[in-house]
Amino acid sequence: AGDVDAAPLEQYDAVVSAMPARVSHGTKMRQNQGYWVLDAFARGAVAMQRGGFAPRAGDVLIASLPKSGTTWLRALAFATMARRASPPASPDHPLRRLNPHDCVPYLDMLFAVGRGAVVDALPSPRLMGTHMALSLLPPTVVDGTSGCKIIYICRDQKDVLVSMWHFLKRNGRQDLSLQEVYDSFCEGTCFQGPVWDHILEYWKASNEDPARVLFLRYEQVLQDPAGTVRELARFVGQPFTGAEEDAGAVADIVELCSLESLRSQRANREGAQGVFAKFSHESYFRKGVAGDWMSHMSPEMGERLDGILRERLDGSGLVL
Ligand code: A3P
């Protein structure tokens, strides 16, 4: 990203300052078309949506709410799509040298720092990541005409909010209470919230065109990582051949991307952090289980959030 001159973002100042603002978990947020985004990302979000990002046929976007399994899915998709150039068992595989977020360009961050143009230079098929809501992406991604595919991952929101709480505490917000994070999820004011709208938009798009949007659940991936890898490969048009299956390529990818394997890489251990996002790399890897919320929240708190989500998702066919 250092090779590309930063694009000026001042032209979006007026549109950003017209967005409602609030402070959440000590951070200034803006409400962009109904979604709460970081104020520091808001100009980039507008730039990306209004022509800064040129989607292409063959692009694959990993979309998610933070703490839904983004790191894992980025690693799995990267290892799957790059497997011919970088066999998963190879000792110098990029995922053994780099944090998964350094293998898959994160559009929101690149545009926030004016360096979205780096993705223009990437060869197709490009694999990129975003936390943006579907409706905040460029119109040709929203309507599907760009031919860009999307893999979305969602997770039990109770585990997501507990994961978010731990993550923020490990990245400088030691004083943050779980209650504060919980309230922001229930109110729909958390980062990229309301979470129900974020999830519903991708869910509906996946139902309308499953060949365009693959909707995954973190809990499903935990249950059957190999099945997920095969599904991912088919979805991006690179199914595993019989020879690859016989050689154990799927198992190699699952192993390479397992929590234990990623956590043990030097790039993901204490001390390392992102270039633009100053989050410690090790903080992306914690427990990696389903149901950890029960160690931190009362059943009543869980039931209240579930009730809000049931109401918001009513009629969609989606149960979280
Ligand atoms: P927990 O905090 O519940 O353990 P994201 O990648 O979207 O930021 O989400 C982080 C969550 O995914 C964390 O959940 C983290 O432990 C879990 N995670 C990260 N890498 C994983 C992997 N390889 N396998 C399973 N879970 C993983």
320 occurs within a structural domain: no
User: What region, left, alpha or beta, does residue 23 occupy, with left being phi > 0 and alpha being psi -120 to 50 degrees?
Assistant: beta
Does the ipTM surpass 0.85?
yes
CA 10 to chain centre: 27
3-state secondary structure of 62: strand
What gap in Å lies between CA 124 and CA 107, rounded to an integer?
16
- Total of domains in the chain: 1
What single string gives the DSSP state of each residue in 285-300? Answer: -S---S-GGGGTS-HH
Q: What is the pLDDT of residues 53-103, one digit of tens each?
A: 999 999 999 999 999 999 999 999 999 999 999 999 999 999 999 999 999
> 147: domain range?
19-313
Better-predicted residue by pLDDT, 25 or 217: 217
Distance in Å, CA 145 to ligand 1 centroid = 32
25 is catalytic: no
13 occurs within a structural domain: no
pLDDT for the residue 277: 64
14 occurs within a structural domain: no
11 occurs within a structural domain: no
CATH assignment of the domain containing 103: 3.40.50.300
10 occurs within a structural domain: no
319 occurs within a structural domain: no
Query: Which of 25, 93, 101, 131 does the annotation list as catalytic?
Result: 131
Helices 249-256 & 70-81, crossing angle to 10 degrees? 140
Instruction: Give me the sign of the Cα torsion angle 193, 9, 98, 265.
Output: negative
2 occurs within a structural domain: no
Q: How confident is the model at residue 296 (pLDDT cuts 50, 70, 90)?
A: very high
Q: Which atom of ligand 1 is nearest to the CA of 222?
A: 25
1 occurs within a structural domain: no
